[in-house]
Chains A and B, each alone.
Chain A
Amino acid sequence: DQQVKQNSPSLSVQEGRISILNCDYTNSMFDYFLWYKKYPAEGPTFLISISSIKDKNEDGRFTVFLNKSAKHLSLHIVPSQPGDSAVYFCAAKENSGGSNYKLTFGKGTLLTVNP
């Protein structure tokens, strides 16, 4: 049961252009969404997050958009740089009211930024 889906296993863009990574979710109880970047042989690195009470969060070149009615979020990277080439994971946290921080991850999208 894929509660978090990243339907594009890979994406290739030219340096300087916009990269748009998409993520869909099915669990209405998710209230916090995150994007992680992962290089080979390294752990996931936190990139940006958004609470379900917002529809946009921006941090430098990275912007995350959340459409709750469509249960869809996207990560925009502008302008894309070759160093952005990595696997990007969408992750979500359920509002369980507990003290834990269980994340449900998507399968990831491999972004390749060509010089």
Chain B
Amino acid sequence: EPEVTQTPSHQVTQMGQEVILRCVPISNHLYFYWYRQILGQKVEFLVSFYNNEISEKSEIFDDQFSVERPDGSNFTLKIRSTKLEDSAMYFCASSGYRNTEAFFGQGTRLTVV
């Protein structure tokens, strides 16, 4: 069964460092998303990506964040200068069409120390 895969499963980084979280969406999907869940809080939308551009982003997705689909299969989230409050589970998701369910990856746990 097709699935969304994310690497790494756990990333520890020092405050101020850049991190790149990687995702391989389901191959025939067209819409890609990043969500995050801070420990004990709800899953929050960060950004959606369609047709090689950001279609919507939340207030959380500030200039420190960027997304890219560099080679037609990978979908990456970059945080330029990590802060302690960026520590969270980051979930990548993809969907085939606008009104179909999104499939989530297993998540990357980012710990900023």
Contacts and interface: CB of A to CB of B under 8 A. Distances in A.
Nearest to A45: B104
B106 to A, nearest CB: 5
Nearest to A96: B56
B103 interface: yes
B62 interface: no
Interface stretch (A15-23, A60-68, A101-109): A101-109
A101 B107 contact: no
A99 interface: yes
Interface in B29-52: 31, 33, 35, 41-45, 48, 50-51
A35 B48 CA distance: 20
Interface in B41-74: 41-45, 48, 50-51, 55-56, 58
Contacts of A102: 33, 45, 48, 56, 58
Most B-side CB within 10 Å, residue of A43, A89, A104: A43
Nearest to A93: B99
B69 to A, nearest CB: 15
Contacts of B103: 46
B108 to A, nearest CB: 10
B75 interface: no
A42 B45 contact: no
B45 A46 contact: no
B55 A98 contact: yes
A101 B41 contact: no
B42 A107 contact: yes
Contact of A44 (B43, B58, B98, B99): B43
A42 B107 contact: yes
B45 A99 contact: no
B95 to A, nearest CB: 5
> Lowest 9 CB-CB distances: which A-B pairs, in order?
A43-B104, A100-B48, A105-B43, A46-B101, A100-B55, A100-B56, A107-B42, A44-B104, A99-B50
17 contacts: A41-B106, A42-B106, A43-B91, A43-B93, A43-B105, A44-B104, A46-B101, A46-B102, A89-B43, A99-B55, A100-B33, A100-B48, A101-B102, A103-B102, A105-B35, A105-B44, A107-B41
